[in-house]
Structure formats: C-alpha cells, structure tokens
Amino acid sequence: MRTPKALYPTAPTMFMCELSHCPDCEGPLRLLDYVTGRKTIQTLHEVLRVGYRPKACDEPGCRVAERPWPSAAWQQLAPKYGTYGYDVIAQIGWERQRGRAAFELIHARLRQRVQISESAVRYLYHQKYLPLLACHERQHLPALRALAQTSGLLLSLDGLMPEGGEAQLWVVRELQTGWTLRSGWLSNQDEATFVEFLRPLAELGLPVKATLSDKQRSGVLALAAVFPQARQAYCQLHYLQNAAAPVAAADEQMKIALRQGVRAAVGDLIRQKTPEKPTELTITGLLPSPLPTPRTTPTSLAASVAQEQEQIVHDLLQRVRYLLTLKGRPPFRLAGQEMFARLQDVVRSLDQLLRHQPEPRLLELRTGLRQALRAVRPTQRELRVVVAGLTRLGLPVLVPRATFFVWAPVPKGLASTEWASRLLREAEVVVTPGVGFGPHGEGYYRIALTVEQARLAEAMERLARLAL
C-alpha cells in the first residue's frame, strides 16, 4: 500500500544559512552549492518538505574552516533527524503534563491532525519532550530555592528502560512541582555514575527532605551518599510491578473460588440456553442476507410489561455471565477484586428489583450470589483496616473499587502537599499529595494498600496520635 500523497507536497521549502560571517574568525562565509537536510516534517497545521543550503568559511587558518553551517530556521522546525515538528512534541508534553492524559488518549486526539502511531507518541514524550523540558525549566531555579527553604525538596530518580544495550535516559524530578531538575543519558548504571549525575543538585545546597527511587541498588546507594540526611522511599509503581506476581496469584485464586461458588449456586440458572447471535452475521454483496423480519409489538399493556420483565431477567443473567469471564491486568487491574465489586453491584440491583416484583429467578440469583460473595469476603479485610482507621479520625474516605489505593480529603485549611509533609514529619507515614495527579486532586491525599495488614494498622495508630 502506497504512503498517502499528503505526506509529499509538490513544492519543497529550501532554507539558506542566515550567517554572513564566520562566528570564529569573522571572515565572510561562502554559500555551498549543494542542498542537505532533506526531510519531510509533520506539524500540527501542515506537512513540509524541507532542506537547506549551508555556508562555510574559506579563510586560511580558521579553526572551523570548511565546517558547514546550517540554517537556523531549518533547525527550529523539528529536532535533528526528527520528522515531527516541535509543535507536535509540545502538544504531546502539554497534554501529558498538564492534562494527565494517557498516551492512548493523546494518540486518539493527535491522529486527527497528524499521521502518527501510539508508540511514536510515547517515544516523542520520553526521548524528546522530557530532555527539552529539563533545559526549559532552568528558569524555575529561584522558585525552587524558595520551595526548598519552605518545605524541603522531594526528589525522584527514574530511568527509562534501555533497548538493545543502549544508553538509558535518567530523570530527576521535584515531586511537589513536577519540575525536571536533571535529565541525561547514562551509559552505565553503577553507583559512581549516579553519584556524578546527582552531585550538581547537592552542590546547590538546598535541603532535600526525601528521595524516591525504583529500589535499584546502585541508585539507592548513590542517593544515600549524595543526600545522607534525606529519607528514602521506593516508587509505588515499581513496587507494585515487583509485587505483581504473588499479589496476582492470590487474586487469581480468589477469582477462581468466587467463580466456582457462583457457578455451583446458580450455574443452571445463568447458563445460556440459546445462542444470542446467529452463526452468520449480516452478509452483503451479490448474495446479501434477506431483510430481518420486524418484531411484532405486543398488543396489550400486560404483554408489553411481561416482555419488559423478561428482558430485565435476561440482561441480569447475561451480566453475571460476563463478570465471570473478567481478566486482570496486574498490578493495577485485578480481576478477582473487580469481579467481587461488580457482583455486589448486581446484588444491590436485585434488592431494588425484588422489592417491586418478587420474580423467582431473580430471587434464586440473589441468594446464590450472596452465598458466593460471603465465602470470599475475608479477602476484603485489609481494606477495612484503613477505612475504619480513617473513619475513627473523622476523615471520610473514598472507598476504592478494586484498586490498591484509598483517597481521603485533607484537613480544612491545608494544601495536600502541606498535609503530606506533616504526616511524614510528625507521624513518619508516607502518603501521596493529590495535587501530584493534577489540579483536581488538590484537597485529597492517597494511601497505598501495598504493605502488610499489621503495618496498615500501625499507620492508622500514628495518624490517631496526631493533633488533627
């Protein structure tokens, strides 16, 4: 299949080096008689086919004689060797940083204006936007100093997975602001390399309260050496990825037990009696499918009500069948937890329906689901520990639905970063300020349920000792 012609405009745009004199010896520059830098660039508004004619210095003895000088206008369109304009890269970064949009959503919006794949969106963000952001954010240094004196800095060290043994991009961010403080390509990931990478931050002399890393040994040792007074924490994402195997295995066992319990109790009831769809779908062409026979409308009100009631029963049974087929994506989507929560929703719907119309099949379905849910209910006790602890403190909780996190509002008059800093300072409990997930998260903080039940109970006791 040919590439769409829209990518190849018929009129290429050629630039010329804007310099008239050599930056080194100040001698005149000569326009070279060839064109280089030919490429096609996609911007948000148009597709450009560009190139430029360079210039060179002919002065004898010049240190940069014969060096070709490129066009500045050509360089401002896109990164070197890149075929997407800086405006495309900026749009990706803006939606990711400000809007907290997923890459899938960014790609869906962007492909309406640019021919681009989702993998290219990820590449441009990680490999192009973040390094550019690190250079741009040098202007925030005065504000960074003020923040450090007010509440101290919270630093994270994270690297992108290398491919084929290539150098790895490592980024140091300030978590309260999201600013990128250091960004660079490291060919080695040993302690000495990380120490040299982090040392310029320590030389600023700014107080660092805590650091966050992925628990890579060389990075942990380097953080301890460069910031010896800072407390160390480990990234929840990496923690969950490492813990996914045993957690997912336990959740899978709960899912199997719940599914077996439902099928043992109401298997005959929910089993599909007739296929819901024909073997062949609608066929077109020279021999199309005949037009479907229109359904006859009930002639009486009683018949219409009976048909509607039968459809409700059919939909509920179909819903239960679907929920028994849920598949998880550990560590963030565990099918057992999700199945439990959604079957509870079905039971609540059945409670409301049976108050109005005691249908025998729905009554049997509700009884069977309650029995199956009751058998696996002990697996929800860890969540209850955190919810009960926060409730005793008078802090209402947004109970998660099949996740590892609890969201709770911060006390009145405090920002989420101030509350998180106070919990770390006075109770030695680490929580995540909601503003880190975007402006709509301000006013809340997040607790991760990724430790043992005893540790969660201890954290609740420490919170109770605070003068709220």
* Same-domain status, 369 and 252: yes
- Is 80 exceeded by the pLDDT of residue 22? yes
Q: Kindly state whether residues 449 and 359 are assigned to the same domain.
A: no
Q: Quick one: pLDDT at residue 226?
A: 93
Identify the three-state secondary structure at position 255.
helix
* Residue 165 sits in the same domain as residue 118: no
d(CA 63, CA 59): 9
Long-range contacts of 117-125 (CB under 8 A, 24+ apart): 120/84, 121/92, 124/84, 124/88, 124/89, 124/92, 125/89, 125/92, 125/93, 125/96
Which parts of 94-177 are beta strand (E)? 153-159, 168-174
Residue 131 counted as domain residue: no
Residues 43 and 120 in one domain: yes
Are 362 and 342 members of one domain? yes
Q: What would the two tokens of residue 320 be?
A: 């239960």
Domain end, chosen from 379, 405, 431, is at: 379
Q: How far is CA 163 from CA 93, 122, 166, 270, 300, in A?
A: 22, 14, 6, 48, 69
Is residue 453 domain-resident? yes
For residue 406, what are its two tokens?
């609890």
- One domain, residues 252 and 319: yes
Domain membership flag for residue 227? yes
Specify the CATH number for the domain of residue 396: 3.90.1150.10
Q: pLDDT tens for residues 338-349? A: 788 889 888 988
Per-residue pLDDT, 368: 93
Query: Does one domain contain both 207 and 324?
Result: no
Judge whether 177 lies within some domain. yes
**291 within domain boundaries:** no
Measured CA to CA in angstroms, residue 272 lies from 269, 318, 327 at distances of: 8, 8, 20
Please report whether residue 294 resides in a domain.
no
Residues 218 and 254 grouped into a single domain: no
- Which amino acid does the sequence have at 304? S
Highest-confidence range of 163-177, 267-281, 417-431, by mean pLDDT?
417-431
pLDDT tens per residue across span 351-402: 888 887 788 999 999 999 999 988 888 765 554 454 455 556 555 444 444 4
pLDDT tens, residue by residue, 119-169: 899 899 888 887 777 666 677 888 888 888 888 888 888 876 544 445 677
d(CA 95, CA 395): 33
Decide which of 212, 234, 256 is a domain's last residue. Answer: 234
- Cα(70)–Cα(19) distance, rounded to whole angstroms? 9
Q: Could you tell me how far CA 125 lies from the centroid of its own chain?
A: 13
pLDDT digit string, tens, across residues 31-74: 998 899 899 999 988 888 999 999 998 888 888 888 888 888 88
Domain tally, the chain: 4
Cα 160 to Cα 134, 183, 184, 194: the distances in Å are 15, 11, 11, 14
CATH code (residue 193): 3.30.420.10
The answer on 446 and 388 residing in a single domain is yes
Q: Is the pTM of this model over 0.75?
A: no
Say whether both 66 and 13 belong to one domain: yes
The structure tokens listed for 247 are 């957690």
Range of the domain at 415: 380-465
Same domain, 364 and 248: yes
Q: Is residue 287 part of a domain?
A: no
Given 89, 124, 159, the domain boundary residue is 124
Let me know whether 146 and 157 are in one domain. Answer: yes
Give the pLDDT score at 364.
Answer: 92
Q: Which residues contact 210 (CB under 8 A, 6 or more apart)?
A: 152, 154, 155, 230, 231, 232, 233, 424, 430
Whether 99 is covered by a domain: the verdict is: yes
